[in-house]
Structure 1
């Protein structure tokens, strides 16, 4: 296991994860789409925002917690849906969910996860569990998964709406990690050069449950990571409209969140269709390379629907100060994906907990510098340029 106390920030965890994972798997997580412009812009947009300092206001008592959907969370962030968690560490989704539960923050299970929602419910009963759905053209298949999450009592359904056009992740093809995965020499050599990962991760899967599968897929679509090319695959729902979001609203009894919102009009449409929350997201720069940075578009979305629903932001979060900037622009919380994946790759639950602790500590320091003791004291006044909001 990586010496986690030697990892002082998320970038240290990233470098450690890079050493531990096969190149193709690391770059699947780490890189963006096409030229990586959206990925880079997410970070650059946060870095352009400068903050004012404010001292001597008795910072001795402080609270980073907040309330989301009527319940307290101990930190204003949660775990984003990441289908690759189970390749970072053996049963990576469970490890990551345990770290989230211990920190008092929500965990989102991805459609393509290697751990089923039933197993996660058994193994981490105290977690605040959200299920992320990629709607399929096979609506019956989509509703089979949603029904399972509903019957298990999961708190929220997160419907991702940017999946239909597909992805342009050229690096996956170059590395031999196309989707669905097809055994090839490039990937085999890559994995063979990382015997530690084979021993820690793949050996345990083979000894316990066999090759990993898309555990939440209906049986007719479920396959191992090696036979995906020969099995029937679900197709993206290219004919989807807001009416289908209304159908999910009618079917789902608890909180409904629409993810991949990048404009005020789309946010209004989501709320009009019944969404309790929206996630301002460009998929971490992994979907559309010309997408706007989420922190740049956040004010437009908060203005459009901030008084009608819970606005959440993801994409580009690497520092606790990034979280504070998002809160100041009106987000109620953020979701982190890569940051905790890097941690999970370095030490399972302990590594994920280290990533969460790093972000929490950085947030707390930022609170101190801007003179805030609680989230209610974070707002646009902390920005260095008040004319532009940044």
Structure 2
């Protein structure tokens, strides 16, 4: 079906439209992973191995999808994950995403390297949002950004710990945004791609300015485009960070602290010891170390280890409300979605994200009803199995 006639419902629908509408370098930036993208593929494939157990003849006339995430009411166990350079996907995209999240009643997480600033997002509404931060070499900058976040009402900090170095993302190298591309590669991904995407050039390239990293503009005043900011951020990633630094962070941040990027029982335990209020089981969407386990396959081990001590969330590979159900059945308090909302934003803007979140809720509610549960708290391990034979 041609994408121009496609009525989008699923993540894959929005992805197909986004591929047509975005310049190649931007689509590949969102769609791609590290190295050969093995983990990227496993993240989604491993969800399909989790088989829901259908249950019939139960009263499911009233199904309630609401829950709490990090102490905040949410219409379903879903939050929008931080997406770096998200504001390049549509005009002031993070603002649009915040509006859609507010309307859907789920948390929105702003990235450190967002195009829109903390202050711009806070102006959308008085509904709280989450903020994601990296540990930068300059702790003074970290402290200033934390103060700004607190000042605009942020009370939940999502701290990413799996980016001591940036993963080797071959698509970004080929397209010239991570260095190494040939002159033709840069021309194909840049000017040639712009010429073939005039709608994006007008809506985002011209009308969506400024294209600076809003939260970092004062620290890199000479930068004029995201590529220059990316280089500065890359130089600021601190490879010497340890759990002692997280203890320092816990001492200066007064709100909820969520550690994002845990992929082992040992690291989950260390995060709890350092003072985390929640952990996110994540392999960064397959964008860091290729070949590692999928997030969903590691989730049960982490839940068993620290689930009675802290909240456990997960991301990477979630593409539907059914996946949300599967993750919840394996013990996650909730999930974060990144690529899904990024594709929807690129495809249809705020309306796309609103439609996507509505689809997620409908799918999640349907899965609950058809598996015979009516409350999120009732979704447990006995709602799924890992083999078709075990259903009989």
State the TM-score, normalized to the length of structure 2.
0.92
Report the CA distance between 1:15 and its aligned residue.
0.3
**Structure 2 contact 50–387 (Cα < 8 Å) conserved:** no
> Who is 1:63 aligned against?
64
Within-5 A mapping of 1:1-390: 6-126=7-127, 128-178=128-178, 184-186=186-188, 187-205=190-208, 210-217=209-216, 219-222=218-221, 223-225=223-225, 228=228, 234-385=235-386
- Can you list the C-alpha shifts for 1:55-100, whole angstroms capped at 9, x where unaligned? 1111110100102233321111000000132111100000001100
Distance 2:224 2:361 in 1: 37
Distance 2:202 2:230 in 1: 27
**Structure 2 contact 212–226 (Cα < 8 Å) conserved:** no
**Structure 2 contact 70–156 (Cα < 8 Å) conserved:** no
Report the CA distance between 1:338 and its aligned residue.
0.6
Unpaired runs of 5+ in structure 1? none
**Structure 2 contact 115–212 (Cα < 8 Å) conserved:** yes
SS at match of 1:35: coil
Distance 2:290 2:314 in 1: 18
**Structure 2 contact 29–172 (Cα < 8 Å) conserved:** yes
Report the CA distance between 1:153 and its aligned residue.
2.1
- Can you list the C-alpha shifts for 1:249-308, whole angstroms capped at 9, x where unaligned? 111111001000001111111011010010100011111102210110001110111111
- Can you list the C-alpha shifts for 1:299-320, whole angstroms capped at 9, x where unaligned? 1110111111111100001121
CA distance 1:303–1:232, shift in 2 (3 Å): closer
SS at match of 1:228: helix
**Structure 1 contact 10–358 (Cα < 8 Å) conserved:** no
Report the CA distance between 1:230 and its aligned residue.
11
CA distance 1:103–1:4, shift in 2 (3 Å): farther
Distance 1:194 1:294 in 2: 35
Distance 1:4 1:262 in 2: 40
CA distance 1:3–1:94, shift in 2 (3 Å): farther
**Structure 1 contact 89–344 (Cα < 8 Å) conserved:** yes
**Structure 2 contact 98–124 (Cα < 8 Å) conserved:** no
Distance 2:338 2:288 in 1: 14
Q: How many residues align?
A: 384
**Structure 2 contact 49–387 (Cα < 8 Å) conserved:** no
Distance 2:230 2:330 in 1: 47
RMSD: 2.5
CA distance 1:28–1:158, shift in 2 (3 Å): same
**Structure 1 contact 141–218 (Cα < 8 Å) conserved:** no
Distance 1:368 1:307 in 2: 27
Report the CA distance between 1:181 and its aligned residue.
11
Distance 1:381 1:333 in 2: 18
Moved over 6 A (4+): 2-5, 179-183, 386-390
CA distance 1:93–1:227, shift in 2 (3 Å): closer
**Structure 2 contact 18–27 (Cα < 8 Å) conserved:** yes
Distance 1:149 1:198 in 2: 31
Unpaired runs of 5+ in structure 2? none
Distance 2:77 2:84 in 1: 22
Report the CA distance between 1:193 and its aligned residue.
1.2
Report the CA distance between 1:336 and its aligned residue.
0.3
**Structure 2 contact 108–130 (Cα < 8 Å) conserved:** yes
**Structure 1 contact 16–346 (Cα < 8 Å) conserved:** yes
Distance 2:21 2:166 in 1: 29
Report the CA distance between 1:334 and its aligned residue.
0.3
